[in-house]
Amino acid sequence: MTDDVLVVHGDTPLRGEVRVRGAKNLVSKAMVAALLGDCPSRLLDVPRIRDVEVVSDMLELHGVRVSPGKEPGELRLDPTNVERANVDELNVHAGSSRIPILMCGPLLHRLGHAFIPDLGGCHIGDRPIDFHLSALRQFGAVVEKSPQGLSLTAPAGLHGTKFELPYPSVGATEQVLLTAVLADGVTEVRNAAVEPEIIDLICVLQKMGAVIKVHTDRVIEIEGVRSLSGYAHRPIPDRIEAASWGAAALATGGDVFVRGARQADMMTFLNLFRAVGGRFEVDDGSGVDSGGIRFWHPGEELTAVALETDVHPGFMTDWQQPMVVALTQARGLSIVHETVYERRLGYTEELCSMGATIQVYRECLGGTPCRFGRRNFKHSAVIAGPSKLHAADLRIPDLRAGFSHLIAALAAEGTSTVYGVSLISRGYEDFEAKLTGLGAHVGRP
Ligand code: EPU
């Protein structure tokens, strides 16, 4: 299929401006939150990405009316007539997203029953849902697994509970929030994730009438309420996409202004970007101008660094792949320790086929031993640079690695063919048009 293949002409510094919209990893959850309301919600600045389409379809199958609002990028979500969805129709979406697991609590509250088809998402580790299921069971849900998916009921209703997550999982924290807000009584979750997208989801729920307290030390307390209304919300900007363009500017020797990027959510990325030798300048904007961050290559040699991915406020696992492409251009040995997902370095093989020198290890090469040490996961990497990259045929394995392959192809000498690019549209709006706008020469074969 030619629409899944992109031909990328290399040696092209990206220069110009791109705009990022609402964060993919908030927008999809805010759409699910709309199910909890007794009147319509308005979500602004929604990117046109595949994940949003899948969640819209799943909500529509449950009777939510999803329609464009007045502003460009605005979605209206009307949950007034929520109803049970047809299992065969839901199963059309089996394997296409991980968001449906977050519909459990809201559907149980609204309908007393939920059916969740098999989940999808990127293959970057096992991605179990054990924390989700044990939290739901503690709230009072009865979960039955079938070959098609999960069926949940709550015969005695859902009631508040105390829960300690074994790891500060983003999804499991969202599961607890979306279930606890309408559960009977108080819920306390310890070792919760506190990513900016989680805090933004809490803002959405607070606008709807929820009572949520974020305490110090990863403790969140939720007081269940009887009903919630709709919301109007402008999401935080997509800090993963913003960092991807920043890394692309650095890897290609370019200069990109990312309109909409926000410093507060990206501090850890900016620290590392500076340590490598990249330059950036924050524009706080004024009035209706949202401002943004300009990222550029200084023209001097870049420096190798050690980086370890971690939960917030650490270096995001989703920033790792684009940054590694830039690190192939830095002098010396860079070390990457991936501590969030056990299999998020597989894409480096493709970079090696382009001339990069990257060796992956099972040992924890970072300062802190992680959950994956002494197990069979190659989750640390050493990158020796700088390497002259050359064109190759590349196959995209997952969303973030896919974008990194594109950056590598742009930085490389010659013309690369990249297969499986439709995966990138799961999380990057109009990426092809944006690349072209930055001076890249890309096209269909
Ligand atoms: N985990 C478990 N059991 C669970 C849940 C998670 O063991 O029940 C483990 C995972 O296997 C992983 C770790 O906990 O090793 C962290 O997973 P988490 O639940 O935090 O990830 P997620 O909610 O599935 C979201 C983003 C990811 C992002 C991670 C970490 C969405 C839709 N996805 O995933 O984004 O990498 O948080 O910040 O919000 C992406 O956008 O490309 C992407 C993969």
Residue 373 has what pLDDT? 85
Q: How confident is the model at residue 265 (pLDDT cuts 50, 70, 90)?
A: very high
Q: What is the mean pLDDT of residues 59-86?
A: 95
List pLDDT tens digits, range 348-373. 999 999 999 999 999 999 878 899 98
Residue 97 has what pLDDT? 82
| Average pLDDT value over all residues in the chain | 95
Distance (Å, whole) CA 372 – CA 367: 14
Ligand 1 pocket member 123 (CB < 6 A): no
For 333, half-sphere exposure in the C-beta direction (CA atoms, 13 angstrom radius) is 7
For 194, half-sphere exposure in the C-beta direction (CA atoms, 13 angstrom radius) is 15
Distance (Å, whole) CA 235 – CA 44: 7
Residue bearing the CA closest to ligand 1, atom 29: 170
Ligand 1 pocket member 371 (CB < 6 A): no
Nearest Cα neighbor of 172 from 146, 190, 160, 150 is 190
Ligand 1 centre distance from Cα of residue 308 (Å): 16
List pLDDT tens digits, range 18-37. 999 999 999 999 999 999 99
More reliable by pLDDT, 445 or 317: 317
In ligand 1, the atom with minimum distance to the C-alpha of 342 is 15
Residue 209 has what pLDDT? 98
Residue 121 has what pLDDT? 66
Do residues 24 and 51 lie in contact, with contact meaning Cβ atoms separated by under 8 Å?
Answer: yes
Distance (Å, whole) CA 166 – CA 292: 36
Distance (Å, whole) CA 241 – CA 47: 11
Strands 357-361, 380-385: pairing kind: antiparallel
Per DSSP, which regions of 243-304 are E strands? Answer: 255-259, 279-283, 292-296, 302-303
Residue bearing the CA closest to ligand 1, atom 14: 169
Ligand 1 centre distance from Cα of residue 170 (Å): 6
List pLDDT tens digits, range 386-419. 999 999 999 998 899 999 999 999 999 999 999 9
Could you tell which of 29, 58, 169 is best to mutate to test the pocket of ligand 1, judged by most ligand atoms within 8 Å of the CB?
169
Q: How confident is the model at residue 98 (pLDDT cuts 50, 70, 90)?
A: confident
Q: How many Å from the N-terminal Cα to the C-terminal Cα in the chain?
A: 10
Q: How confident is the model at residue 169 (pLDDT cuts 50, 70, 90)?
A: very high
Q: Strand order of the sheet with strand 162-164? A: 162-164, 186-190, 219-223, 211-215
pLDDT of 175 strictly over 60: yes
Residue bearing the CA closest to ligand 1, atom 18: 169
* Phi and psi torsions of 407, nearest 5°: -60, -45
Whether residue 313 has a cis bond before it, omega within 30° of 0: yes
What percent of the chain clears pLDDT 70, i.e. is strictly above it?
98
Host H or E run for residue 56:
helix 50-61
Ligand 1 pocket member 438 (CB < 6 A): no
Distance (Å, whole) CA 280 – CA 293: 7
pLDDT of 89 strictly over 90: no
- Asked about 203 being catalytic, the answer comes back as no
Ligand 1 pocket member 71 (CB < 6 A): no
Q: How confident is the model at residue 118 (pLDDT cuts 50, 70, 90)?
A: confident
Say which range, 82-86, 238-242, 279-283, 290-294, has the weakest mean pLDDT. 82-86
Ligand 1 pocket member 318 (CB < 6 A): yes
Ligand 1 pocket member 317 (CB < 6 A): yes
More reliable by pLDDT, 329 or 366: 329
Distance (Å, whole) CA 438 – CA 252: 11
Output the CA torsion 206→238→287→281 (10° steps). 130
Residue 124 has what pLDDT? 64
In ligand 1, the atom with minimum distance to the C-alpha of 312 is 38
Ligand 1 pocket member 102 (CB < 6 A): no
Residue 376 has what pLDDT? 86
Residue 95 has what pLDDT? 74
Q: Is 207 exposed, middle or buried (CB count within 10 Å of its CB: 0-12, 13-18, 19+)? A: middle
Distance (Å, whole) CA 312 – CA 317: 10
pLDDT of 79 strictly over 60: yes
CB proximity list for 5: less than 8 A, separation 6 or greater: 417, 418, 419, 421, 444, 445
List pLDDT tens digits, range 197-240. 999 999 999 999 999 999 999 999 999 999 999 999 999 999 99
SS3 at position 428? coil
Judge if pTM exceeds 0.85. Answer: yes
